[in-house]
Structure 1
Amino acid sequence: MASKDTVSARAFAPAHITGFFEVHDHTDPVRKGSTGCGIVLNEGVETTVTIGEAIEETVISLNCKHVAGSTSRTVVEMLTDRPVKVESIAHIPIECGLGASGAGALGTAYALNRILSLDLTANKLNEVAHVAEVRNRSGLGDVVAQSLGGAVIRTSPGAPGIGSCDRIPTGKSDVFCIVLGRLPTSSVLGNEEAVKSINTAGKTAMKRLMVRPSIENFMTCARDFSIGTKLANEKITEIIDAVEAAGGMASQAMLGNTVFAIGTNGKDAEIEEILSCFGQVLHYRISPGSIRMI
């Protein structure tokens, strides 16, 4: 809780799972980004920003532990020269393909806007978070989707307000995840050969999705993308095959060592049971909501 000489503001930003994507480079970070498709979840990251005379330097913490927090720190530096305390609590796994860095950056931007009375629009705050992600190679398209909610198709690259998006109409479908370990986004985005393979497969996936933009087709395109790019290792492929054998649909969260699955024809219970054979099952829902002040 803030002391008498400090003031705090808190914001929530949702998780996002990308199913497939294509990288679009640009010298201007506002116009750099990705196209592709993904789903926004009901859980995410809560971020509290505190200001006060006793705070002499900017400190970032995640789940009560001090971290470098490069992406969130960049957001702070873009919006103020005042030292602040940024405390994020993640209700999702970190560095596992669920857009945690983007959610933290968005929460930081929105909380700073409130506490410092910056009076910036949503598009401007989203742009700041997007640029921070791009500069730190922690993401390319999560912020765009997280600013909208639902099942988001990113049809042209760039920050919110620059790039264009569409959405697949969907309800609050159940989403089940198995996390096999961490995979920093920068480790893949910094590999030129991997990016070439991703871009070829991502372009194909987008064309296939737009022929029939449904959640089921999205999952099929995402599965083929993860296997075709060889981003899916043997364990991930084994889990995907097991889910499909039970009548469900599964793929790999991009970019992360995580499998996500949805049930079809009322097979949620069967899918969750199959996944439980491989580890702890995390249960989410597709959420039409977006960023909010708490």
Structure 2
Amino acid sequence: MNSHYALSARAFAPAHITGFFEVHDHADPMKKGSTGCGIVLSAGIETTVTMGEGIEETVILLNGKEVEGITSRTVVEMLTDRPVRVESTTQVPVECGLGASGAGSLGTAYALNRVLSLNLTTNKLNGIAHVAEVRNSSGLGDVAAQSLGGAVIRTSPGAPGVGSCDRIPSGESDVYCVVLGKLSTGMVLGSREAVRNINDAGKEAMKRLMVRPCMENFMRCARDFSIGANLATDEITDIIEAVEAIGGMASQAMLGNTVFAVGTESTGAELKEVLSGFGQVLHYRINPGSIRMI
């Protein structure tokens, strides 16, 4: 291993959209999390970790700007007491329900593992990213899904290796998103009433999905969840109805002020056209893969 390689490493972690979920609290952050279902995206976050001379304190950068980056910072603190430079570049909007903090924490963990030659397994690294998310109220189940790829059903809560997951055979379907603004996961989950509504609707959605676990039923369950849990705004409901008017299916990305629709080659152009009436349309694909070193 040459010295340059030892000082810098880069990892990619995919974004993730949760369609519906149920919160499971636990004193142990490895066992705390959520059940539910969502889709892992082709786009995500690339994170480079650098260690060496001239770096005297840990710095977190997001798209070239210094940020607090509390979740990624927690990952660093869990793995080392040496100062490092963490540079993340996003291919998806942040704080919009696309699992950006989970992707950032995973990329940080994997790149640090390489830079420091820690030789930790994926379950250990995924667990560290999950704990960082839970401790900072930035996510509950994204890491579990992001560590697998595809359309992931989180059947029991907790970190990868603790909770359990299944998948809907999905292929690399097209995913279209319209982002209406930011929404803080922590703020929503800080409301007891909101969590109660989420859990009632989430339990019902999971029951319905498992009767017929396919993409079409997932989208239907996600749509009903967003409305039943009182999370969908009037604007989000208008977009969902506009998509349904052309025979498509859409829902809200959890937890975010974002609408997503899953299309096929034959429906993609029409879906995109309808969604473009509400804002810029972001186009991704369902990613059957997971985290990788670059």
- The total of aligned residue pairs comes to 292
Distance 1:4 1:42, change over 3 A: closer
Residue 52 of structure 1: SS of its match in structure 2?
A: coil
Q: Which residue does 2:107 correspond to in 1?
A: 107
Of the structure 1 ranges 259-268 and 198-207, higher mean CA displacement relative to structure 2 is found in 259-268
For residue 170 of structure 1, report the CA deviation from its aligned partner. 1.0
Q: Which residue does 2:128 correspond to in 1?
A: 128
Q: Which residue does 2:213 correspond to in 1?
A: 213
Residue 49 of structure 1: SS of its match in structure 2?
A: strand
Contact 1:51-1:83 at 8 Å conserved across structures = yes
String of CA shifts for 1:198-253, please: whole Å, max 9, x gaps: 00000000000000000000000000000111100000000000001011110000
Q: Which residue does 1:27 correspond to in 2?
A: 27
Q: Which residue does 1:258 correspond to in 2?
A: 258
Alignment of 1:71-82 (within 5 A): 71-82=71-82
Does the alignment pair 1:204 with 2:204?
yes
AA at the equivalent of 1:282: L
Contact 1:16-1:41 at 8 Å conserved across structures = yes
For residue 7 of structure 1, report the CA deviation from its aligned partner. 1.8
Residue 144 of structure 2: SS of its match in structure 1?
A: helix
AA at the equivalent of 1:249: M
Contact 1:247-1:263 at 8 Å conserved across structures = no
Does the alignment pair 1:83 with 2:102?
no
Q: Which residue does 2:193 correspond to in 1?
A: 193
Separation in structure 1 between the aligned mates of residue 264 and residue 246 of structure 2, nearest angstrom:
10
Contact 2:6-2:116 at 8 Å conserved across structures = no
Separation in structure 1 between the aligned mates of residue 216 and residue 264 of structure 2, nearest angstrom:
8
Contact 1:205-1:221 at 8 Å conserved across structures = yes
Separation in structure 1 between the aligned mates of residue 226 and residue 207 of structure 2, nearest angstrom:
16
AA at the equivalent of 1:151: A
Contact 2:13-2:291 at 8 Å conserved across structures = yes
Does the alignment pair 1:184 with 2:190?
no
For residue 266 of structure 1, report the CA deviation from its aligned partner. 2.2
Separation in structure 1 between the aligned mates of residue 264 and residue 221 of structure 2, nearest angstrom:
16
Contact 1:72-1:105 at 8 Å conserved across structures = yes
Unmatched runs of 5 consecutive residues or more in structure 2: none
Q: Which residue does 1:171 correspond to in 2?
A: 171
**TM-score, length-normalised on structure 2?**
0.98
Q: How much identity, in percent, do the aligned residues show?
A: 77
Contact 1:14-1:290 at 8 Å conserved across structures = yes
Separation in structure 1 between the aligned mates of residue 200 and residue 272 of structure 2, nearest angstrom:
32
Contact 2:173-2:264 at 8 Å conserved across structures = no
Contact 2:6-2:115 at 8 Å conserved across structures = no
AA at the equivalent of 1:122: T
Residue 188 of structure 1: SS of its match in structure 2?
A: helix
Q: Which residue does 2:94 correspond to in 1?
A: 94
Separation in structure 1 between the aligned mates of residue 286 and residue 56 of structure 2, nearest angstrom:
40
RMSD, matched Cα: 1.3
Unmatched runs of 5 consecutive residues or more in structure 1: none
Distance 1:4 1:225, change over 3 A: closer
Q: Which residue does 1:286 correspond to in 2?
A: 286
For residue 265 of structure 1, report the CA deviation from its aligned partner. 8.1
Q: Which residue does 1:12 correspond to in 2?
A: 12
Separation in structure 2 between the aligned mates of residue 292 and residue 252 of structure 1, nearest angstrom:
28
String of CA shifts for 1:50-92, please: whole Å, max 9, x gaps: 0002111000010000000000000000000000000000000
Contact 1:38-1:153 at 8 Å conserved across structures = yes
Distance 1:192 1:179, change over 3 A: same
String of CA shifts for 1:10-44, please: whole Å, max 9, x gaps: 00000000000000000000000000000000000
Separation in structure 1 between the aligned mates of residue 248 and residue 270 of structure 2, nearest angstrom:
8
Does the alignment pair 1:56 with 2:45?
no
AA at the equivalent of 2:254: M
Separation in structure 2 between the aligned mates of residue 263 and residue 152 of structure 1, nearest angstrom:
18
